[in-house]
Amino acid sequence: MLKIRLRRPAKYRIYFLILMIIVYWLGFNLLPEQLTQTSEQLSLAVVSALYFVLLPLLYWYWIIKIGAQKSWKILVILSLSSLMARLSYPPQIAEYFEFIAWLRFPIIAVLLLIELYLMVSIIKGLWQARKASGDPRLAIIAQYAATVEQELGNGVNELRTLNIESASNTDMPKNQMPDDEKLTLGLILATEPASWYYAIPYFSRRHPASITPLKLLSAQPWHALVIIMCLIAASTLSYILLDDVSHIAAVFVSGLILYSVVLIAANYRISRYYSLYQREGKLIINNGIWGFMSIDLTQISELKLGTFLAHVLPQQMGGKSVGDSTAINATEILTIGRGDTANVQLIFKHPQTYYGGMGQLPESLSMVNLVVDDPQVFADAFGHIHNLQKAS
Q: Tens digits of per-residue pLDDT, 238-292?
A: 889 888 777 777 888 888 899 899 999 999 999 999 999 998 888 999 999 989 9
Mean pLDDT of 347-369: 85
Contact present, 85 and 94 (Cβ < 8 Å): yes
Pick from 152, 183, 207: which residue ends a domain?
207
Mean pLDDT of 138-164: 51
* Residue 322 or 109, more confident: 109
Residues 143 and 196 in one domain: yes
Q: What are phi and psi of 105, to 5 degrees?
A: -70, -50
- The torsion defined by the Cα of 37, 39, 43 and 46, in degrees rounded to 10, comes to 130
Provide the angle, in degrees to the nearest 10, between the axes of the packed helices 136-152 and 180-199: 160
Whether pLDDT at 4 is above 60: no
Residues 202 and 161 in one domain: yes
- Closest by CA to 48, choosing from 85, 99, 95, is 85
Is residue 31, in this structure, part of any structural domain at all?
A: yes
Residues 301 and 379 in one domain: yes
Residues 314 and 386 in one domain: yes
User: Domain limits at 195?
Assistant: 111-207
Q: CA–CA separation, 327 vs 252, rounded Å?
A: 53
Q: How many domains are contained in the chain?
A: 4
Task: Look at 50-59, 151-160, 209-218, 286-295 and tell me which has the smallest mean pLDDT.
Answer: 151-160
* Residue 72 or 303, more confident: 303
Angle among Cα 39, 45, 51 to the nearest 5 degrees reads: 140
| Start-to-end C-alpha separation, the chain | 48
Whether pLDDT at 45 is above 70: yes
Whether pLDDT at 20 is above 70: yes
Provide the angle, in degrees to the nearest 10, between the axes of the packed helices 104-131 and 180-199: 60
Whether pLDDT at 221 is above 90: yes
Contact present, 193 and 124 (Cβ < 8 Å): yes
Provide the angle, in degrees to the nearest 10, between the axes of the packed helices 247-273 and 221-243: 170
User: Which residues, listed in sequence order, are joined to residue 282 by a DSSP beta bridge?
Assistant: 279, 296
Contact present, 379 and 347 (Cβ < 8 Å): no
Pick from 158, 175, 207: which residue ends a domain?
207
Residues 184 and 128 in one domain: yes
Whether pLDDT at 294 is above 70: yes
Task: Look at 168-177, 213-222, 322-331, 346-355 and tell me which has the smallest mean pLDDT.
Answer: 168-177
Is residue 1, in this structure, part of any structural domain at all?
A: no
Task: Look at 23-32, 312-321, 360-369 and tell me which has the smallest mean pLDDT.
Answer: 312-321
Is residue 97, in this structure, part of any structural domain at all?
A: no
Does residue 41 sit in helix, strand or coil?
helix
Amino acid, res. 33: E
Residues 38 and 14 in one domain: yes
Whether pLDDT at 207 is above 70: yes
Whether pLDDT at 185 is above 90: no
Residues 66 and 115 in one domain: no
The one-character DSSP state at 200 is S
Amino acid, res. 153: G
Residues 81 and 176 in one domain: no
Whether pLDDT at 223 is above 60: yes
Mean pLDDT of 338-347: 87
Is residue 364, in this structure, part of any structural domain at all?
A: yes
Q: CA–CA separation, 188 vs 253, rounded Å?
A: 20
Is residue 380, in this structure, part of any structural domain at all?
A: yes
* Residue 12 or 126, more confident: 12
Is residue 106, in this structure, part of any structural domain at all?
A: no
| Share of residues in the chain with pLDDT > 90 (%) | 20
Whether pLDDT at 338 is above 70: yes
Residues 193 and 233 in one domain: no
Is residue 100, in this structure, part of any structural domain at all?
A: no
Q: CA–CA separation, 202 vs 182, rounded Å?
A: 30
Residue-averaged pLDDT of the chain? 75
Residues 264 and 310 in one domain: no
Contact present, 347 and 328 (Cβ < 8 Å): yes
User: Which residues, listed in sequence order, are joined to residue 370 by a DSSP beta bridge?
Assistant: 336, 344
The per-residue pLDDT for range 295-328, each reduced to its tens digit, is 988 889 989 898 887 554 444 444 555 554 444 4
Whether pLDDT at 233 is above 90: yes
Q: Which residues contact 271 (CB under 8 A, 6 or more apart)?
A: 213, 214, 216, 218, 219, 286, 288
Is residue 105, in this structure, part of any structural domain at all?
A: no
Residues 178 and 247 in one domain: no
Pick from 251, 274, 297: which residue ends a domain?
274
Residues 182 and 254 in one domain: no
User: Which residues, listed in sequence order, are joined to residue 279 by a DSSP beta bridge?
Assistant: 282
Amino acid, res. 298: T
